[in-house]
Structure 1
């Protein structure tokens, strides 16, 4: 029996490491490494219960929530929070004493209910249709209506309950340590259906710790050292003794069915398992200290399956199986492991006629067998010593089962199985024997390299022709049967009769050409040093650079797939260019790519349709169909809103928000709140390759450059109306920014002295001032005109007074002489009198002028 169990456990371990976990740790932002529970809300956000409280995770960052202040936590059970999600995807939390509910619009947890001090909550079921919660406690079943605030207890159900689980629309399973009962939610009594005496007897021998019900209403129960299953009406439990042996002496902490009919269960100390309904093991998840992608510490106290069928585990940290991880397979050198790459510096790659993958390194050739598991090694020195320098700089298929090998300064070799022959005419080690590229055309072998001339050798006769072209790094043939050669000096075409057409690198500004790829439509695609991706067609070069979406302008390799894409290896990851749509999608470490910086010459398209690229850290192998077809649906959320770099969360003082920032459509700000920050994130657990761009309508004319940055800052905003628009994209050629956009309206009010009413008052005041000034001017002008008139009359009066005096004086003398007749005398008296009267009037005018000027 023991040997059988040993074999079984070995098989389980082997199965267990077939899938890799993505682990979230304290170093990633998790608040504590001890975790208790997992849930997901309607927005797709993940919630984790830890020893420090509650964390919300969006795929790139965390937000922490405390249910209590530090001085309120006086009981250990207050830290062991469990989640429950109702039919509306609302998050409920219970610990040993209290129940809380998460309010989305307010972005906070509100207290709902507490049990008596001497009681303990073990489980919770939310009946949101009837606004009630059911609690499994140490003192039996409790119902609480959170609308009416009414609490109901059940006399016949006062024993210790350890779990609740919905059986059907009207029936709730009540589990204690030793039995299972059926509770009718409508009548609030024990249901008529109960288990058979034999089944009850078998369950009574266990110490139950967990249970669940699958879609076929099959009940699974976990206990210490055992997992069992049955259906109502069965007479006995179904169990798996071999499986039970692997989980002996530990409790089954969680059991959960998936949508495909499988069952997951976890333990605290002996890993997690995926089984079928007959309890046959489909997969085991155990700790492997040599594998960072294994389940940490063999702990799985809670299991959760999210909307995309990813399986999450809580216990030690948080782990999940990423079923949508992009399928880039990385092979590297492993220290002290001969069944791995001999060295990580890759110089060339080719597949042979048997389907084996040849990888040229700085220390010989590693050959990955067709099974993609086993490696063999050889070098051109025909020795097993893996430490000697043997730079394999070029590889190509030969005739039959041979592979032609180009080396650094040691010419060309032909390898057929264990037979190695040096076929270069020059045998000595010299720079003249440097080979960076090979092209076999019938019996003619073309080869070239840095610092040497392009040559062609007839493999039958050994005759070598040298061409006046040097520094060739890539060779290929086009549809016109021309040899296309790219290198440091540009692009060359060698036609019939060995005619040469050259496009000089300096003249045409195309830089050094590292790779050439002719296509059937007579287009030739070039990878350059510093000039990006170049398309050559009908004598015209068209460049695509980082401005068009490339991650780098230095391209080392180009391969085409069957989907109309070009795959480019660069110094900053891998890029996929869709020729028809003219769009780039870049892949980096965040996408699961094992290599960031690639090497020139190290690329190959193999017979399986897979593409292989190499760099300074090994090789990657992938099928383009697996990458491009991956559809990662994401949703953007606003995670925070800041004013002058301080959070203005809904729960902070003096916040302008009326709802949580992610629920907000419009923000009203004061004029002195004009330095703002938007934090946002794309909810995505498949990879970290989220790209964002944003624009503030009313200020920005162009979109910001696409980047992984997920915060937008604006300062010194003027009062007015704005629209903040943010777009996001993720893996796959089909991911376009325009398809994913969220908009948030912002209004910054003007200060009271800059409002419309203020401007109206300023206008009225200005009009009044202008009117008064004009009025005053006119009054002054009128007075001036009046004075001018008076002066005019006074001047005339002065002019009249002198002759008047001259008239009066003779009259006075004539009257005194009395020499005239009486009639004449009367006339003179009348004239003198009128003259005096006129003189009096003149004096009055002069007195008026004096008084006016004095005034």
Structure 2
């Protein structure tokens, strides 16, 4: 800097030149950013913290452009380009102020070594918890947004909650032992709130007071107000519809069997789709239903979630049967064999950016619809998913299912997923996938239950990675089973690492292994 800035003497303790050609300085008791000969930002939180002689201090710019200041005694600070600063402390579960070392790895994890505090990893949580303090102990079952922008949350045992203008308001809809149980909640186009509560009875509210619907409806698993003003209910014993004060339950002669239904959706043309416990998908048009059953359905897989896409495709989430794509009267099943993290699809949302987000019993995952369509068309064998787990801020890996709506896309684009420990909220547009594949290594090879030494062609143990890559394993005649044990290391989200393997030329395609870390082959033919 020069004297025209009013500071002819700068006693500099640390400097950092950043990627935008700015210079962050720790000088004269202040932490500031200079650019083009002028001070343009300052960390007010750090003012007068670093005065006099300062040592054991470091500065680092991360991949997002923020600057990290760490000091042995003053702690750790994250400073944004405009000077906004977060000081890590006990409220972050950060174990102390004596930060001795700092590192950012290839996956953008931040690591800090704290004297008598250990090695600490810091990473922004993608998901935020949305739950009243007194409801965290009970599972969140259903979530929705009403016409006024309020968020409604139904729980197993703690009742119904409304979140509006940063305040929670609680409701108990029924009486008796089941008064705190709310299974489904949703708003309609005229401001009413519909809910299934207590003994799965249908309730309605207008003006803040809930009462049991008239006529009474029981065994309600899901509720769907449609654009024509009707309210559809998925029932323990079939499908029902309210038109004003008139209620109709569909009968077998209407095309709907008296079976459990747990999912509803309305398509662009106004048709209502319903998913049954025996795996049957119903389409209701002008009070008449047509049924569809997957041709590969040897064992029925209950339908737990539905999404009607704008292009006419119906996405069907099943219990243990993966994801179904239904279009032009044809089902295509996509499961863990094609790359999905789980075969239980509790929730399906469209982020309006070409991706489906699905809640499962193994966390939440995102997959491009283009990849799903390509698999359905036979253009590719598997899909690539971005999976999110506990390390990403999910309060529980198990998302709520069996009642709908269990997930919701807000008008501002954020998405809500009900889990067993509260509602997880995520901003999908802020997510960029980690494209770095984890380093993979074959750790060991076993033949007929016996480990084989990793040796070079010269007959001695491999001493480094270069020699290890040239290892040649010879399996003598008479052996029956060969097992390869492998590993892939990701510090970004170690619980989300998934594997696929291929033994060329024996395997024509990659084999999805999920979290399994070994591949077994029996009775391999002679040859290289």
**Same fold by TM (over 0.5)?**
yes
Cα shift at 1:358:
0.8
Asked whether 1:618 is paired with 2:425, we answer: no
Q: Which residue of 1 aligns with 2:263?
A: 474
CA distance in 1: counterparts of 2:44 and 2:270, whole angstroms: 69
Cα shift at 1:240:
9.8
Cα shift at 1:313:
1.4
Distance 1:472 1:677, change over 3 A: closer
Q: Pick one of 144, 154, 162 that aligns with 1:367.
A: 162
Assess if the C-alpha contact under 8 Å between 1:247 and 1:267 holds in 2. Answer: no
| Structure 2 counterparts to residues 515-554 of structure 1, below 5 A | 515-554=305-344
Q: Which residue of 1 aligns with 2:96?
A: 297
Cα shift at 1:353:
1.6
Cα shift at 1:607:
1.6
Q: Which residue of 1 aligns with 2:435?
A: 632
CA distance in 2: counterparts of 1:504 and 1:258, whole angstroms: 55
For each residue in 1:121-171, what CA deviation from the matched residue of structure 2 results, as whole angstroms up to 9, or x when unmatched?
xxxxxxxxxxxxxxxxxxxxxxxxxxxxxxxxxxxxxxxxxxxxxxxxxxx
| Structure 2 counterparts to residues 767-806 of structure 1, below 5 A | none
Q: Which residue of 2 aligns with 1:403?
A: 193
SS in 1 for 2:471: strand
Q: Pick one of 213, 226, 231 that aligns with 1:445.
A: 231
For each residue in 1:612-663, what CA deviation from the matched residue of structure 2 results, as whole angstroms up to 9, or x when unmatched?
2213222222233334x3243235254856796487699xx98432x51257
Distance 1:639 1:526, change over 3 A: closer
CA distance in 1: counterparts of 2:461 and 2:523, whole angstroms: 18
Higher RCO, Cα 8 Å, sep 6+? 2
For each residue in 1:12-54, what CA deviation from the matched residue of structure 2 results, as whole angstroms up to 9, or x when unmatched?
xxxxxxxxxxxxxxxxxxxxxxxxxxxxxxxxxxxxxxxxxxx
Distance 1:257 1:221, change over 3 A: farther
Asked whether 1:568 is paired with 2:353, we answer: no
SS in 1 for 2:220: coil
CA distance in 2: counterparts of 1:618 and 1:401, whole angstroms: 25
Distance 1:475 1:639, change over 3 A: closer
CA distance in 2: counterparts of 1:683 and 1:345, whole angstroms: 30
| Structure 2 counterparts to residues 547-696 of structure 1, below 5 A | 547-582=337-372, 583-585=383-385, 587-589=387-389, 592=392, 593-598=394-399, 599-600=401-402, 601=404, 602-627=406-431, 629-634=432-437, 636=439, 638=441, 645=451, 655-657=460-462, 660-661=464-465, 664-667=468-471, 679-682=486-489, 684-685=491-492, 688-696=495-503
Q: Which residue of 2 aligns with 1:838?
A: none
For each residue in 1:781-834, what CA deviation from the matched residue of structure 2 results, as whole angstroms up to 9, or x when unmatched?
xxxxxxxxxxxxxxxxxxxxxxxxxxxxxxxxxxxxxxxxxxxxxxxxxxxxxx
Cα shift at 1:351:
0.3
Asked whether 1:314 is paired with 2:113, we answer: yes
For each residue in 1:68-90, what CA deviation from the matched residue of structure 2 results, as whole angstroms up to 9, or x when unmatched?
xxxxxxxxxxxxxxxxxxxxxxx
Greater helix percent: which structure?
1
CA distance in 2: counterparts of 1:276 and 1:535, whole angstroms: 44
Aligned length: 475
CA distance in 2: counterparts of 1:250 and 1:296, whole angstroms: 25
Larger Cα Rg: Structure 1 or Structure 2? 1
Cα shift at 1:485:
2.3
CA distance in 1: counterparts of 2:363 and 2:81, whole angstroms: 44
Distance 1:414 1:633, change over 3 A: same
Cα shift at 1:350:
1.0
CA distance in 1: counterparts of 2:468 and 2:295, whole angstroms: 56
Q: CA RMSD in A?
A: 4.5
CA distance in 2: counterparts of 1:355 and 1:698, whole angstroms: 57
| Structure 2 counterparts to residues 336-375 of structure 1, below 5 A | 337-338=133-134, 341=135, 344-362=138-156, 363-369=158-164, 371=166, 374-375=167-168
Q: Which residue of 2 aligns with 1:267?
A: 71
Q: Note the residue ranges of structure 1 that are not aligned, 5 or more in a row.
A: 1-197, 204-210, 232-238, 427-431, 722-855
SS in 2 for 1:436: strand
Asked whether 1:465 is paired with 2:248, we answer: yes
| Structure 2 counterparts to residues 190-269 of structure 1, below 5 A | 211-215=13-17, 220=26, 243=46, 252-258=55-61, 264-269=68-73
Distance 1:681 1:282, change over 3 A: same
Cα shift at 1:357:
1.4
CA distance in 2: counterparts of 1:276 and 1:502, whole angstroms: 56
SS in 2 for 1:492: strand
Distance 1:420 1:266, change over 3 A: same
Cα shift at 1:377:
1.6
Cα shift at 1:271:
1.9
Distance 1:493 1:667, change over 3 A: closer
TM-score by length of structure 2 reads 0.73
Q: Note the residue ranges of structure 2 that are not aligned, 5 or more in a row.
A: 1-7, 35-41, 373-382
Assess if the C-alpha contact under 8 Å between 1:342 and 1:366 holds in 2. Answer: no
SS in 2 for 1:433: coil
Assess if the C-alpha contact under 8 Å between 2:59 and 2:70 holds in 1. Answer: no
CA distance in 1: counterparts of 2:271 and 2:525, whole angstroms: 63
Cα shift at 1:380:
1.6
Assess if the C-alpha contact under 8 Å between 2:234 and 2:274 holds in 1. Answer: no
CA distance in 2: counterparts of 1:546 and 1:447, whole angstroms: 31
Distance 1:435 1:656, change over 3 A: same
CA distance in 2: counterparts of 1:648 and 1:660, whole angstroms: 11
CA distance in 1: counterparts of 2:185 and 2:273, whole angstroms: 18
TM-score by length of structure 1 reads 0.48
Cα shift at 1:608:
2.0
Asked whether 1:484 is paired with 2:269, we answer: no
SS in 2 for 1:298: coil
CA distance in 2: counterparts of 1:578 and 1:571, whole angstroms: 20
CA distance in 2: counterparts of 1:512 and 1:612, whole angstroms: 23
Q: Pick one of 184, 189, 200 that aligns with 1:394.
A: 184
CA distance in 1: counterparts of 2:289 and 2:415, whole angstroms: 32
Cα shift at 1:247:
7.4
Assess if the C-alpha contact under 8 Å between 1:250 and 1:268 holds in 2. Answer: no
Cα shift at 1:701:
6.2
SS in 1 for 2:210: strand
SS in 2 for 1:272: strand
Distance 1:283 1:508, change over 3 A: closer
Q: Which residue of 1 aligns with 2:38?
A: none
| Structure 2 counterparts to residues 741-756 of structure 1, below 5 A | none
Cα shift at 1:300:
0.6
Assess if the C-alpha contact under 8 Å between 2:147 and 2:189 holds in 1. Answer: no
